[in-house]
Amino acid sequence: MSEASTRHTEVKGSGVVQVTGELIATRRAGAYHHLTFVAPGLAELARPGQFVALAVGGDTSANLLRRCFSIHKVSPSGTYGGTVDVVISAVGAGTRWLSTLRAHDEVDIIGPLGRPFPLPKEPVPCVLVGGGYGTAPLFWLAELLRERGCHVEMVLGAATESKLFGVVEARRHADGVSVTTDDGSSGTKGWVSDVLPAVIRRTGAAVVYGCGPMGMLKSVTDVAAAEGAVAQVAVEESMACGVGVCMTCVMPVTGKDGTTRMVRSCVEGPVFRGDRVRWDAFSDGLCTVPADAVGAPRVGGH
């Protein structure tokens, strides 16, 4: 392991570090890539639902913006020190570059970022719902919930079998697992929202956690509300900086006072109560500003 990978800088009082992380393992996981980095100081601070922002392209790259990924799991101690795992889908220039890294390559990492999943104070039944590689942060969450005495079930969905992530791992971390695929190539043919009501009723779940595409999170929120459960969802809004500066990931969320505000999903999120997200503002992958949101444009201008 190189000396550089032991260097890290902590942003005082923030619970965030910037570290040169050394890649110590890379492997395929179906349609995805599973990467493990040594990240001193980061693993000890992280909680399920938080994410990391990785610099991509190397020192001479024109890719100025980082790529943000949910933390799959951490190991605060080990042979090389604390490690952090992420799961990526190589679809763009940045993620394709990450997928080509080899052992001992180094990446600048900032994290842990964002707000984590809240954990129930009492041991209550919980259902964890993931779509595609959005399932990645839910296994670590399942571990902590079961340590608290919660009954945990997982519902994993994807378009097709190759796009599922962690089905075998889910069976090790949960008391029960349901699988859906759009094309019926694995599990039940259909969406996670097709099987979720029955799982909630059977378990008496009080909390439903979700991570995946925004359309899926809306349906998970709707089902949870209909079944009398609280939804906690980690949103997948595009993040350019990951630290609250660029304002590209703003989305409308209703506060406890009933007022809708445009908030940064990288700072105020990525985890929100599902019933507070203004799902009506999302359409065809785009988010608009609701007319009743604070600061919304008014007819006629200023």
Place of tokens 């110590």: 24
Residue 3: CB partners within 8 Å, gap ≥ 6? none
Q: How many other C-beta atoms lie within 10 A of the C-beta of residue 298?
A: 8
Return the pLDDT at 247: 86
Confidence (pLDDT) at 302? 54
pLDDT of residue 297: 85
Task: Output DSSP code: residue 300.
Answer: T
pLDDT at 121: 92
Give pLDDT tens digits for 208-247: 999 999 999 999 999 999 999 999 999 987 788 888 888 8
Q: Are 37 and 21 in contact (CB under 8 A)?
A: yes
Helix (H) or strand (E) holding 224, with range, is helix 214-226
CA distances to 23, 85, 88, 97, 282 from 57, rounded to whole Å, are: 15, 19, 15, 6, 31
Write down the pTM of the prediction.
0.91
Structure tokens at 170: 């889910």
- Residue 195, SS3 per DSSP: helix
* Encoded tokens for 5: 């990978």
Strand 207-211 versus strand 230-234 pairing type = parallel
Q: Could you report the per-residue pLDDT of 51-89, keeping only the tens digit for each?
A: 999 998 877 666 678 899 999 999 987 666 799 999 999
Question: Residues in the chain with pLDDT < 70?
Answer: 1-14, 60-63, 78-80, 299-302
Count how many residues are written for the chain. Answer: 302
Kind of pairing between the strands at 126-131 and 282-283: unpaired
pLDDT for the residue 6: 47
